[in-house]
């Protein structure tokens, strides 16, 4: 069972699509994968606010095909990781990238419903009209993730998609700090480790 600290660490991405990448990580204790089993994946969906408990209960009814779709999600996670590694080096590479068509393909395979919902900012109008992707079964899990990836591509400032600077850290985040100087997944984990290493190095100098 993963610790609370690991749960916190998984959600440092400031973008759901990057949290998705971080659902497999290499903390001090070795690799932790939050998508090892179908139940893991569904728990991750709830923790990430990508699905409600009720929706997950519906998906659980079809455990037979959950395994197959889960494998697809895991494969897509690595495809998307390669893409993010590329664009974090050079954001201009997003133009014409195969990942755009790949995501559009996934999104084209799901049903959207239009709903009246309470408005986020109720000062002007009480309701807003929102599209929601339906979660009818395990086949609709990947499109929900792909929607967050599409959001990153279309709405985030890709110049600030960063990999934690610690050499052995796999975590990605969107640097939304004002100064855009964020370097670590978390100060408690990699930041302090780097500080301690720098201190040890400075002590070694004659
Ligand atoms: Zn890190």
62 CA → ligand 1 middle, Å: 36
**Inside any domain, residue 115:** no
Predicted TM-score (pTM) of this structure: 0.88
| Cα(110) to centroid(ligand 1), Å | 34
Mean pLDDT of all residues belonging to the chain = 90
* Within-domain flag for 34: yes
Asked whether residue 165 is domain-assigned, the answer is: yes
Question: Is pLDDT of 206 > 70?
Answer: no
User: Residue 119 falls within a domain, yes or no?
Assistant: no
More confident call, 6 vs 40: 40
- The string of pLDDT tens digits covering residues 103-136 is 999 999 888 899 999 987 777 889 999 988 889 9
CATH number for the domain including 174? 1.10.3300.10
Measured in Å, residue 27 CA sits from the centre of ligand 1 at 8
Q: What's the 170 CA to ligand 1 centre distance in angstroms? A: 7
By the CB criterion, residues less than 5 angstroms from ion ligand 1 are 164, 166, 169, 171, 185, 190
Q: How would you write 56-79 as a 3-class SS string?
A: HHHHHCCHHHHHHHHHHHHHHHHH
According to the model, what pLDDT value does residue 193 have? 82
| Beta-carbon contacts of residue 62 (< 8 Å; ≥ 6 apart) | 137, 138
Predicted pLDDT of residue 1: 44
Domain span at 21: 4-108+141-204
CA of 11 to the centre of ligand 1 (A): 12
* 3-class DSSP state of 163: strand
Question: For residues 95 and 168, is the Cβ–Cβ distance under 8 A?
Answer: no
Torsion, Cα of 88, 89, 91, 94 (10° steps): -90
Distance 77 CA to ligand 1 centre (A): 19
* pLDDT of 80 higher than 50: yes
Assess if residue 54 is contained within a domain: yes
Domain-embedded: residue 187:
yes
Residue 136 domain-assigned (yes or no)? no
Phi, psi at residue 100, to the nearest 5°? -65, -50
Q: How far is the CA of 70 from the centre of ligand 1 (A)?
A: 26
178 belongs to a structural domain: yes
| Distance in Å, CA 138 to ligand 1 centroid | 31
Q: How many domains does the chain have?
A: 1
pLDDT digits (tens, 9 = 90+) for 20-68: 999 998 766 678 898 999 999 999 999 999 999 999 999 998 888 999 9
| Per-residue confidence band for 197, with pLDDT thresholds at 50, 70 and 90 | confident
pLDDT > 70: what percent of the chain?
95
Task: Find the 40 Cα to ligand 1 centroid distance in Å.
Answer: 23
């Amino acid at each position: 069972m993963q610790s609370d600290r690991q749960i916190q660490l998984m959600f440092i991405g400031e973008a759901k699509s990057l949290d998705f990448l971080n659902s497999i990580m290499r903390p001090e204790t070795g690799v932790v994968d939050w998508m090892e089993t179908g139940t893991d994946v569904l728990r991750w969906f709830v923790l990430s606010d990508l699905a409600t408990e009720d929706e997950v209960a519906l998906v659980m009814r079809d455990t037979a095909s959950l395994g197959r779709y889960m494998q697809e999600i895991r494969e897509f996670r690595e495809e998307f990781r390669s893409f993010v590694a590329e664009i974090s080096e050079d954001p201009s590479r997003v133009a014409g990238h195969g990942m755009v068509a790949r995501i559009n393909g996934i999104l084209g395979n799901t049903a959207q419903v239009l709903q009246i919902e309470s408005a986020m900012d109720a000062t002007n109008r009480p309701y807003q009209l929102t599209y929601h992707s339906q979660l009818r079964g395990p086949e609709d899990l990947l499109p929900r993730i792909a929607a967050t990836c599409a959001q990153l591509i279309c709405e985030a400032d890709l110049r600030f998609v960063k990999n934690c600077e610690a050499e052995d850290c796999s975590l990605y985040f969107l640097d939304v700090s004002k100064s855009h100087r964020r370097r670590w997944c978390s100060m408690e984990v990699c930041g302090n480790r780097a500080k301690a290493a720098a201190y040890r190095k400075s002590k070694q100098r004659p």
